[in-house]
């Protein structure tokens, strides 16, 4: 692949706890992942993004990092991580790791030192420790997971955590923090990782003492850009490495500021992920993406470890996604959802840019909405006062083989229970079925290598509920979101997400033609 591999790559997201368990403890690990690399190579992906793999008390699925330069023992060792990077590279697969700069873990050495050193100490200055006001927290900020964003420690001070109390926020005005993260980046680049996914990238800079200035006090503050310019300068000292930001901002122009030539290489396209299954809405997001990004490459994302699985979402009467309301339990039509998820996959894979595939998306896994209360681990469940069931439903361990749990995930009991119905969704069952979701992804990813990825598109004038474009390579992608079949464009059919009776494109179907 060319130097700018990330412009058109198909990137597969591995949630290590739920991918494959190599040692039988019911939790996925690096040993499990290493045995499945051939499967991923065969699938046709170009890179893997791994969710955090660092030592962590797992208060937030590993996003509470206790040590940025080591591997969580439940997942394996640093030597295994190095072996994994080498083995992936041997197969032509690049590795992207997740760096979490906004917050750390209460179990980190710095936070423990800050607690021990007491109020006014230099150790506390690396975090946001403040005295309370009138017996309460320093201000009224709310945690993104629910509840107050401040927690009091025994000596009376409060510390800031935009997420769970186990995730204290760093003070990014402190030079130690800046220096240490540059060192963390170097640590992983020196071990051969090809990219860094930056967690919660737009909330690093905050000023709890600022007078209201009309801006959000902790989202998208200008200081974030200085940090990423520094990170980019460092990244550019290594060949062929990339930075991808997790930037949730509704304003496309503000989002594009993170993609200026001296900042991040790419950001996740969350407006696309959140868009309903509706042609004008999708067309608007696609057009806005290109307008806002300018020369920066687009990314196309249908799901990740934080959002409702597409098969479930697209089968609901409301097909949009919004963190504020996950629509948990809203009635869903699974066969309609699957049909649309297949069509959406071919649409996303055809668009110019890179594409992210969250593990299990290629199997058409639904959201597991009936996990028993007692197994839920997402802090959103407790922090919301048990009103939001959180994200565990999209994190259930993958089904690999066999006809009953644990479906070849490992030999132990999986850390979240798998539905018995998943026997038809295993990799084994789908591998031999040419009509399965897995076969669709495999074929599409291999065709994508030749005909798609980075480049441009030209829209065709069509019915407003049909999305039709031709890529610079000559491939035409057409998606019918109308309720009736429509004629196919001219060309030789390469692939379709559903059968095409009478040579027409039925509703909720995408076809690729050349």
Q: Give min distance, CB of 264 to ligand NOJ, in A.
A: 16
Pick out residues in 218-247 that bind ligand NOJ (CB under 6 A). 246
Q: Residue 249: CB partners within 8 Å, gap ≥ 6? A: 202, 219, 220, 255
246 is known as an active-site residue: yes
Give the number of other CB atoms < 10 A from CB of residue 501: 9
How far is residue 235 CA from its own chain's centroid?
21
Give the number of other CB atoms < 10 A from CB of residue 5: 18
Contact (Cβ atoms closer than 8 angstroms) between residue 96 and residue 11: yes
Q: Give min distance, CB of 373 to ligand NOJ, in A.
A: 20
Helical H runs in 130-242?
175-190, 223-235
What SS3 class is residue 246?
coil
Nearer of residues 380 and 429 to ligand NOJ, judged by Cβ? 380
Of the candidate residues 199, 220, 367, 388, the single one contacting ligand NOJ (CB under 6 A): 199
Q: In degrees rounded to 5, what are phi and psi of residue 79?
A: -60, -40
Nearer of residues 193 and 247 to ligand NOJ, judged by Cβ? 247
Cis, bond preceding 452 (omega within 30 deg of 0): no
What SS3 class is residue 373?
helix
Residues in contact with ligand NOJ, shown as a per-residue x/- string from 101 to 140 under the rule CB under 6 A? ----------------------------------------
Both structure tokens of 341: 């998820």
Nearest residue to ligand NOJ, by Cβ distance, number only: 63
Q: Give min distance, CB of 100 to ligand NOJ, in A.
A: 6
Q: Give min distance, CB of 202 to ligand NOJ, in A.
A: 11
Contact (Cβ atoms closer than 8 angstroms) between residue 85 and residue 69: no
Residues in contact with ligand NOJ, shown as a per-residue x/- string from 10 to 29 under the rule CB under 6 A? --------------------
Q: Give min distance, CB of 464 to ligand NOJ, in A.
A: 34
Q: In degrees rounded to 5, what are phi and psi of residue 97?
A: -110, 160
Catalytic residue selected from 199, 306, 361, 367:
199
Residues in contact with ligand NOJ, shown as a per-residue x/- string from 148 to 177 under the rule CB under 6 A? ---------------x--------------
Of the candidate residues 21, 29, 60, 362, the single one contacting ligand NOJ (CB under 6 A): 60
Measured at the alpha carbon of residue 386, what is the angle toward residues 382 and 391, in degrees to the nearest 5? 70
Residues 88 and 509: their CA atoms lie apart, in Å, by: 34
Nearer of residues 60 and 80 to ligand NOJ, judged by Cβ? 60
Nearer of residues 98 and 362 to ligand NOJ, judged by Cβ? 98
Contact (Cβ atoms closer than 8 angstroms) between residue 94 and residue 195: yes
| Site membership for ligand NOJ, residue 100 (CB under 6 A) | yes
Residues 150 and 61: their CA atoms lie apart, in Å, by: 21
Q: Give min distance, CB of 60 to ligand NOJ, in A.
A: 5
Q: Give min distance, CB of 374 to ligand NOJ, in A.
A: 21
Pick out residues in 335-394 that bind ligand NOJ (CB under 6 A). none
Nearer of residues 17 and 305 to ligand NOJ, judged by Cβ? 305
Q: Give min distance, CB of 144 to ligand NOJ, in A.
A: 7
Exposure of 121 by Cβ count < 10 A (0-12 exposed, 13-18 middle, 19+ buried)? middle
β-sheet bridge partners, residue 480: 466, 509
Of the candidate residues 200, 312, 496, 509, the single one contacting ligand NOJ (CB under 6 A): 200
67 is known as an active-site residue: no
Exposure of 430 by Cβ count < 10 A (0-12 exposed, 13-18 middle, 19+ buried)? buried
| Site membership for ligand NOJ, residue 63 (CB under 6 A) | yes
β-sheet bridge partners, residue 486: 505
Instruction: Tell me the DSSP string of 132-158.
Output: -BTTB-SS--B-TTSSBSEEE-TTS-E
Nearer of residues 106 and 511 to ligand NOJ, judged by Cβ? 106
Nearer of residues 271 and 337 to ligand NOJ, judged by Cβ? 271
Catalytic residue selected from 246, 263, 388, 392:
246
Nearer of residues 266 and 498 to ligand NOJ, judged by Cβ? 266
Strand spans (E) along 37-189: 47-50, 94-99, 129-130, 150-152, 158-160
Residues at the contact surface with ligand NOJ, assessed by CB under 6 A: 60, 63, 100, 163, 199-200, 246, 305-306
Q: Which residues are catalytic?
A: 199, 246
């Amino acid at each position: 692949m060319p130097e700018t591999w990330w412009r058109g790559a198909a990137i597969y997201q591995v949630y290590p706890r739920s991918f494959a368990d190599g040692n039988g403890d019911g939790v996925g690990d690096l040993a499990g992942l290493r045995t499945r690399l051939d499967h991923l190579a065969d699938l046709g992906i170009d890179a893997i993004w791994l969710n955090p793999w660092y030592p962590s008390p797992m208060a937030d699925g590993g996003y509470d990092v206790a040590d940025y330069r080591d591997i969580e023992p439940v997942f394996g060792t640093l030597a295994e991580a190095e072996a994994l990077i080498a083995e992936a590279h041997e197969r032509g697969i690049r590795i992207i790791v997740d760096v979490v700069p906004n917050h750390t873990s209460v179990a980190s050495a710095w936070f423990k030192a800050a607690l021990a050193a007491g109020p006014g100490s230099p150790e506390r200055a690396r975090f946001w420790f403040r005295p309370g006001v009138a017996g309460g927290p320093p201000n009224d900020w709310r945690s993104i997971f629910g509840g107050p964003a401040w927690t009091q420690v025994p000596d009376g001070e409060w510390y800031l955590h935009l997420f769970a109390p186990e995730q204290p926020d760093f003070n990014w005005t402190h030079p130690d923090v800046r220096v240490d993260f540059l060192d963390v980046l170097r640590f992983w680049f020196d071990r051969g990782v090809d990219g860094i996914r930056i967690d919660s990238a737009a909330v690093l800079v905050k000023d709890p003492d600022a007078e209201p200035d009309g801006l959000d006090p902790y989202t998208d503050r200008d200081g974030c850009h200085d940090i990423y310019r520094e990170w980019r300068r460092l990244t550019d000292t290594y060949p062929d490495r990339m930075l991808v930001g997790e930037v949730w901002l509704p304003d496309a122009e503000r989002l594009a500021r993170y993609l200026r030539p001296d900042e991040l290489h790419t950001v996740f396209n969350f407006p696309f992920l959140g868009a309903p299954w509706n042609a004008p809405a999708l067309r608007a997001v696609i057009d806005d993406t290109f307008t806002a990004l300018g020369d920066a490459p687009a990314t196309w994302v249908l799901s990740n470890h934080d959002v409702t699985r597409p098969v479930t979402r697209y089968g609901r009467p409301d097909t949009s996604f919004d963190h504020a309301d996950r629509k948990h339990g809203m009635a869903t039509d699974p066969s309609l959802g699957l049909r649309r998820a297949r069509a959406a996959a071919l649409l996303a894979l055809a668009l110019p840019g890179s594409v992210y595939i969250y593990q299990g998306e290629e199997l058409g896994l639904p959201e597991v909405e009936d996990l028993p209360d007692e197994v839920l681990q997402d802090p959103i469940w407790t922090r919301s006062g048990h009103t939001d069931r959180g994200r565990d439903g999209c994190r259930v361990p993958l089904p690999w083989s066999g006809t009953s749990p644990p479906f070849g995930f490992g030999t132990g009991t999986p850390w979240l229970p798998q539905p018995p119905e998943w026997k038809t969704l295993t990799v084994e069952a789908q591998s031999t079925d040419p009509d399965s979701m897995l076969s669709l992804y495999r074929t599409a990813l291999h065709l994508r290598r030749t005909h798609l990825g980075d480049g441009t598109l030209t829209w065709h004038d069509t019915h407003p509920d049909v999305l039709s474009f031709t890529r610079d390579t000559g491939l035409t992608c057409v998606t019918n979101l109308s309720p009736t079949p429509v004629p196919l464009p001219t060309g030789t059919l390469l692939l379709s997400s559903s059968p095409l009776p009478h040579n027409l494109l039925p509703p909720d179907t995408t076809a690729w033609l050349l």
